[in-house]
Structure 1
Amino acid sequence: MGITILPFQMATKRFLLLISIAFAVILGFQYLELPYSNILFSLFSTNKIPTSESSTLQDEHALDVANKTRMSGEENITSNSEQKSGGPYANSPEIAPAYLNSPLSPITKVSPDITTMVSSNDYNVSLSRNDGNALDKNSSINSVPKENQGSPLPVSDVTTISEMNKLLLQSHASYRSMRPRWSSAVDQELLQARSKIENAPIVENDPNLYAPIFRNLSTFKRSYELMEETLKVYVYREGDKPILHSPYLVGVYASEGWFMKLIEADKRFVTEDPKMAHLFYLPFSSVMLVKTLYVPGSPSYENLIQYLHDYVDMIAGKHPFWNRTGGADHFLVACQDWAPSETKVHMAKCIRALCNADVKNGFVFGKDVSLPETHVRYAGNPTGELGGNSASNRTTLAFFAGKLHGYLRPILLQQWANKDPDMKIFGKLPKSKGNKDYINHMKSSKYCLCAKGFEVNSPRVVEAIFYECVPVIISDNFVPPFFETLNWESFAIFIMEKDIPNLKVILLSIPEKRYLLLQKRLKQVQQHFLWHKNPIKYDVFHMILHSIWYNRVFSATTT
């Protein structure tokens, strides 16, 4: 007996065949990362970029909990006038974002003190990541593809500063970004720049640059000159406030905001023609991302990661440039603690300028940049006062004060608080006008301890430079700012966390002549960490841009 195929069975088979073909086409686009792949994919996705109409800013105190009490003035460095006035924008109405008064983005009442220490109960739900993995075990943050896990070079449990130096040198020889899918004139310009930097003329002295604080003054100067002559940056204009295009200009995370403000107003490096661009800037604020989308007490911030994923999809769907390099010629500047985890999957190939530059959290030598955490108290005066007592009038051997964030600081206080008059080690100091007590301690101490908190970074590193107090960095696996350019061992001391009990012995073993040299060099390096409303040569804005440019030049490849 023959088998009879009924008409409806034939129709069913045709329908299934068509579905299979359509699905295969979509997968093909996604696999090849073609410019329109994200548009096709979006037809099957309900995830959208949140708009300003749908965004609601959370209470600033909620952000404080979310950031583990570090937001806007870690420890003892909160602006006194901000506390009185009720918020970080109060002192600078000229830079307050328009959405603060917009009916489209209602804001809950702002807490008058956004640096209040959370209680132990709050801490249990505040996404503490002391162990680096307090998120849900199934979170995609902890499931990073192997190709996105950073440097292929092996990294030990504790990476010393000397080992970081080796990793940096090896990265220039081994790390290369993804080959562009089609050629562009900018690729050849980058390769030519690299050749010129590698063959830079010898510079023994420069009136504006102090050779001992650089790894190689000749290389830096030539690279900086080529940046000024060559570099063009395209800034994406898409995306709604407050997460996009909203610089946060005060507090300990202000670096990202000041860079955003200055680059979006720049006329020298920014180009309106993306075909001329060597770099593409993704202007999102990691601070505003948390303030806007994080739900206080939530055990996860997957929605923040999804937002960035959707943003990248939008950019890749609208422009062809992301897909040309897989994002390797794109960069972000982010200072908030969670930025490494938020960006290490969907933005893994980008150049990431991060304050939380942690070797153990995916920082890639030769690609990523360590962003200075510069605490700005007043937006109208981003630098503030500089300097301190002369070396002979610094009567305190070592100083530290701050909240007991993380596991390390309680150990520091247990070992040294109230134990030795030469070691002024405190918890949080009582409030004083303009934080004068805290600053005066820094100005009158020989060494300022920069002990890690919840994360490896601390604003004390830059503050110590400002007040000419030799920074003693106690934070295993922390990559110091501008690491590819500056010779940090020429003006700072690095002590491993396990050596806290020997802290005084180590500091006293430093000869006076060596200390005087360290302190002298602090004065020379200050200029590279200063913000200006109108950027000047070699300041922190230009140093951040240079580090991004430098890493792009040395990781670029051709088709």
Structure 2
Amino acid sequence: MSTTSIFRLLHLLLLQFSLSPVLAAHPKPLTSPYLSPATIHPNYQNMFKFFKIFIYNPNSTFPFTSPSQSLFYTRLQDSHFPTENPEKAHLFFVPFPSDLPPRSIARLIRSLRSELPYWNRTLGADHFYLSCAGIGYESDRNLVELKKNSVQISCFPTPAGKFIPHKDISLPPVPSTPALTNNTASVLGYARFDWVKESTLVNQLSSDPDFLIESKPSDPNTFADRLGGSKFCLFEYKGGDVSGIGEALRFGCVPVVITDRPIQDLPFSDVLRWQEIAVFVRRSGGAVRELKRVLGRACWERHEKMRELGVAASRHFMWNETPEPFDAFYTLMYQLWLRRHTVRYVRRE
């Protein structure tokens, strides 16, 4: 038996014993962090067994600008998913530097179109790429097809207008906190804000004894203590720092996302049932009053269950040195697997 076969067998055995206890004990959707709790396990197994990706060779080696991009690219290259036979590939990966100008990206796609047959078969619909800030709308045909057809993997949060829901994927940030703490939640709400940016909400909450508001803690251990000692963690979407949302889940601090519109680029939005693991509060003139009302109700009615489901879901945000079932890398691969069904145009003989 080959080394790869042994690795796959061990992985599948590990997966059978590593399913979330919430998923195993609560088959009903409302008691699971997953959108499709009955199908995620068999779909994941099929992904791990059969998924194949063809990686185009870049013209030169280059670094990515964000740690999550670098980790994903490295994990992908070291995994068993890549194939040297493009005819066996479900998807095609187009690697290019994060700071590559749009004109150069257009030239890259043009070369793929003219030199190889795979792009033209679906106009790029079975291709994907990494771009932390996302690709904007351009008039060049090559960029239009890349933007509208190919799967974009960008960083969370993605700038407005550069993320297409149900097609694109966002990368979860790399955690910065150490191991879990055993703190008892003693604060209703915690928020870490950049004080350079003016925020009415921050100014109003800073004098409220139920909330702990501070700028970035001096070290990761302090941040871990804050997360573990709070029932809810506040994040202002589009204007605040939302990079710690996955860490909040891991420490049992239910995320409270303050936003003035629906969020379309939440990590793993087609895997996790975000409404069951986070609270969403509309930003308005009476935001503080509404926030305290919602949290007061959630604290009594749903907090413990949301905290439990959030901890179960936090495994998907972990970037492990050696990839583990359902960690950040494999969940990203699972999302790509769900997007593998594309219309393949019939070739002309």
Query: Paired residue for 2:61?
Result: 241
Match of 1:347 among 115, 140, 146: 146
Verify the 8 A CA contact 1:373 1:458 in the aligned structure 2: no
Report which of the two has the higher share of strand: 2
Match of 1:365 among 152, 165, 189: 165
Gap change, CA 1:342 and 1:325, over 3 Å in 2:
same
1:487 and 2:280 are equivalent in the alignment: no
Query: Paired residue for 1:111?
Result: none
5+ long unaligned stretches in structure 1: 1-204, 294-303, 378-383
Query: Paired residue for 2:300?
Result: 512
Match of 1:223 among 33, 36, 43: 43
1:240-291 deviation line (CA, Å, top 9, x unaligned): 232xxx245xxxx32211100111122x2110111111101122342xx1xx
Verify the 8 A CA contact 1:405 1:454 in the aligned structure 2: no
1:220-255 deviation line (CA, Å, top 9, x unaligned): 22221221222110111122232xxx245xxxx322
User: How far, CA to CA, are the matches of 1:232 and 1:405 in structure 2?
Assistant: 46
Higher relative contact order (CA 8 A, sep 6+): 1
1:286-333 deviation line (CA, Å, top 9, x unaligned): 2xx1xxx6xxxxxxxxxx222222222233333221121111100123
Shift of the alpha carbon at 1:405?
6.9
Verify the 8 A CA contact 2:121 2:344 in the aligned structure 1: no
User: How far, CA to CA, are the matches of 2:165 and 2:137 in structure 1?
Assistant: 19
Name which one, 1 or 2, has greater alpha-carbon Rg.
1
User: Which aligned pairs between 1:306-385 and structure 2 lie closer than 5 A?
Assistant: 306-334=103-131, 336=132, 338-341=133-136, 345=144, 347-348=146-147, 349-356=149-156, 361-375=161-175, 377=176, 385=178
Gap change, CA 1:207 and 1:232, over 3 Å in 2:
closer
Shift of the alpha carbon at 1:207?
5.7
Determine what percentage of the aligned residue pairs are the same residue.
24
User: How far, CA to CA, are the matches of 2:295 and 2:97 in structure 1?
Assistant: 39
Query: Paired residue for 1:500?
Result: 287
Query: Paired residue for 1:450?
Result: 235
Gap change, CA 1:269 and 1:514, over 3 Å in 2:
same
User: How far, CA to CA, are the matches of 2:337 and 2:110 in structure 1?
Assistant: 24
Gap change, CA 1:223 and 1:357, over 3 Å in 2:
farther
Aligned residues: 313
1:166-196 deviation line (CA, Å, top 9, x unaligned): xxxxxxxxxxxxxxxxxxxxxxxxxxxxxxx
Verify the 8 A CA contact 1:451 1:458 in the aligned structure 2: yes
Query: Paired residue for 1:474?
Result: 258
1:435 and 2:220 are equivalent in the alignment: yes
Aligned residue identity for 1:347: L
5+ long unaligned stretches in structure 2: 1-15, 24-31
Aligned residue identity for 1:494: F
Give the structure-1-normalised TM-score: 0.52
SS at match of 2:128: strand
Match of 2:209 among 421, 424, 441: 421
Gap change, CA 1:323 and 1:556, over 3 Å in 2:
closer
1:258 and 2:71 are equivalent in the alignment: yes
Aligned residue identity for 1:365: P
Verify the 8 A CA contact 1:351 1:368 in the aligned structure 2: yes
Match of 2:248 among 460, 464, 467: 464
Give the structure-2-normalised TM-score: 0.80
Query: Paired residue for 1:410?
Result: 199
Give the superposed CA RMSD. 2.7
